[in-house]
Amino acid sequence: MRSRKNEQGMAALEFLVILPVLLALLLLAVEGSFMLRAYSNLYEASREGARLVMREGQTADVPGFVSDLLSDLPVSETTTTVSVDNQANIVTVEVDYAYHSFLLGSPLVDPTTGSPYQLTARTIMPMP
């Protein structure tokens, strides 16, 4: 018959074996939530930039406006592209961001290409 002390030792050992897996899953969930938050901010900024072009009709102010909206992201890592297609009567605002890891504090690098992960948000709106 097994003793109660032996069973408690096995439970502790099983916990130590599963703990790294649980911590990795927790850190992955935290990193994923920060990546989704950054993408949500990019998408909102691109949409507001397209609205600015629709209201004012000028594209020169959009990159600065988008940078102001993305104050919680490193501005040096974001690029904003604005294009107006007069034939189709649409405006396209695209915002790119080299994602910085919340946990590492540096850009996440894709192991297959060696370049940082790029988050891209694009908004296409019809011109009035």
pLDDT at 114: 75
Q: Which of 60, 50, 128, 53 is nearest to 93 (CA)?
A: 50
Looking at the predicted structure, is the pLDDT value of residue 48 above 90? yes
Place of tokens 């003793």: 3
pLDDT at 100: 79
Number of domain units in the chain? 1
pLDDT at 20: 94
> Please, which residues have CB within 8 angstroms of residue 103's CB and are 6 or more apart in sequence?
27, 30, 31
Q: Which domain holds residue 88?
A: 4-126
pLDDT at 8: 67
HSE-up of residue 58 (Cα within 13 Å, Cβ side): 6
Picking from 4-13, 16-25, 37-46, 51-60, which range would have the lowest pLDDT averaged per residue?
A: 4-13
Does pTM top 0.85 for this prediction? no
Q: Compare 116 and 38 and report the one with higher pLDDT.
A: 38
